[in-house]
């Protein structure tokens, strides 16, 4: 997959992070994409930082049973709202591991930021002093696409559009605990099968989920037209399509997670390893 954005960001060096008891953690893999709110910072040892520590520490214990996590700490200007969502087809072990890695990586990827989102392939993590339900448009959006082009753009799109439209409708109608749908019954150019996946955070209403997915799917002609694979990542919703199977068709319910890990010690401002050669990142702010 190739990551695209308005600004090309290149990073260097590696980071490490410690638990409060000074036990060194293994460095998790890089996010496939992440976004930091550059306008809002918090200071070290501030009330906001303490609330962020509390919110992220408690977050793993709030599993809905379907891989959705939601916790808030503090109040007023220092409130921290945290949300995590595991992809609907991953098992509980992968979900917990992805969330734990996200909580480490987000603090080093966006040091001292009051609002940030990190995307792994199996989960996303978002925290903010705003509620995620107030986030509209493409703020923190990321687009990734396969560099391979289809042999027949019109035919490919004529199959892709109804596939994603059907998945959007099914996911939006999924109820308050799980808004997730997959399918692989569409045939594109050269008799290739197109696989699709869509998901919303489950506390969106049916209309909010539908609108989020519809607005982002409309961007395919602008950024992914003719590409045989692509994905659009937002804190509220996401979708992906490929010409190969990338999801687990026998996905089950994600069981509740174990007690939360120790509070993470805030990491100092550092830089991340550089992106793979030829990779660019499109940022929607």
Domain residues of the chain, as ranges? 13-134, 144-242
Class of domain 13-134: alpha beta
Q: Which percentage of the chain shows pLDDT scores above 90?
A: 66
Residue 167 has pLDDT above 90, yes or no: yes
DSSP 213: H
Residue 99 binned pLDDT confidence (cut-offs 50, 70, 90) = very high
- Cα 118 off chain centre by: 6
Residue 101 has pLDDT above 90, yes or no: yes
pLDDT of residue 259: 39
Residues 219-250 have pLDDT tens digits of 999 999 999 999 999 999 999 999 999 999 76
Residues 8-60 have pLDDT tens digits of 222 222 222 222 222 234 568 899 999 998 878 999 999 999 999 999 999 99
Residues 48-93 have pLDDT tens digits of 999 999 999 999 999 989 999 999 999 999 999 999 999 999 999 9
Query: Which of 45-54, 127-136, 274-283 bottoms out in mean pLDDT, i.e. has the lowest?
Result: 274-283
Contact 100, 60 (CB under 8 A): yes
CA–CA distance, 44 with 77 (Å, rounded to integer): 16
Residue 257 has pLDDT above 90, yes or no: no
pLDDT of residue 4: 36
CATH node for 144-242:
3.30.430.20
pLDDT of residue 184: 85
CA–CA distance, 232 with 33 (Å, rounded to integer): 11
Fold agreement (13-134, 144-242): yes
Select the more confidently predicted residue: 168 or 130: 168
Residue 268 has pLDDT above 80, yes or no: no
Across all residues in the chain, what is the average pLDDT? Answer: 80
Query: Which of 142-151, 177-186, 208-217, 249-258 bottoms out in mean pLDDT, i.e. has the lowest?
Result: 249-258
H or E stretch at 164? helix 153-172
DSSP 250: T
CA count, 13 A, side-chain hemisphere, 241: 30
């Amino acid at each position: 997959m190739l990551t695209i954005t308005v600004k090309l960001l290149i990073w260097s060096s590696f980071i490490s992070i410690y638990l409060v008891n000074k036990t060194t953690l293994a460095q998790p893999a890089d996010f496939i994409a992440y976004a930091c709110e550059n306008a809002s910072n918090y200071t070290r040892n501030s009330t906001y930082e303490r609330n962020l520590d509390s919110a992220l520490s408690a977050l793993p214990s709030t599993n809905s049973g379907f891989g959705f996590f939601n916790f808030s700490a503090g109040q007023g200007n220092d409130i921290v709202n945290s949300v995590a969502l595991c992809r609907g087809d991953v098992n509980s072990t992968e979900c917990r591991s992805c969330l734990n890695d996200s909580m480490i990586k987000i603090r080093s990827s966006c040091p001292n930021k009051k609002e940030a989102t990190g995307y792994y392939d199996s989960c996303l993590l978002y925290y903010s002093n705003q509620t995620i339900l107030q986030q509209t448009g493409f703020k923190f959006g990321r687009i990734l696409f396969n560099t391979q082009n289809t042999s027949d753009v019109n035919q490919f799109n004529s199959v892709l559009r109804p596939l994603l439209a059907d998945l959007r409708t099914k996911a939006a109608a999924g109820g308050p605990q799980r808004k997730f749908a997959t399918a692989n019954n569409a045939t594109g150019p050269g008799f290739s099968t197109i696989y699709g996946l869509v998901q919303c955070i489950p506390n969106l209403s049916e209309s909010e989920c539908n609108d989020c997915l519809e607005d982002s799917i409309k961007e395919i002609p602008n950024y992914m037209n003719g590409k045989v694979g692509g994905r659009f990542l937002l804190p509220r919703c996401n979708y992906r399509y490929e010409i190969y199977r990338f999801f687990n068709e026998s996905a089950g319910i994600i069981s509740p997670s174990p007690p939360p890990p120790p509070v993470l010690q805030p990491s100092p401002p550092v830089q991340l390893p550089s992106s793979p050669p030829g990779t660019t990142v499109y940022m929607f702010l």
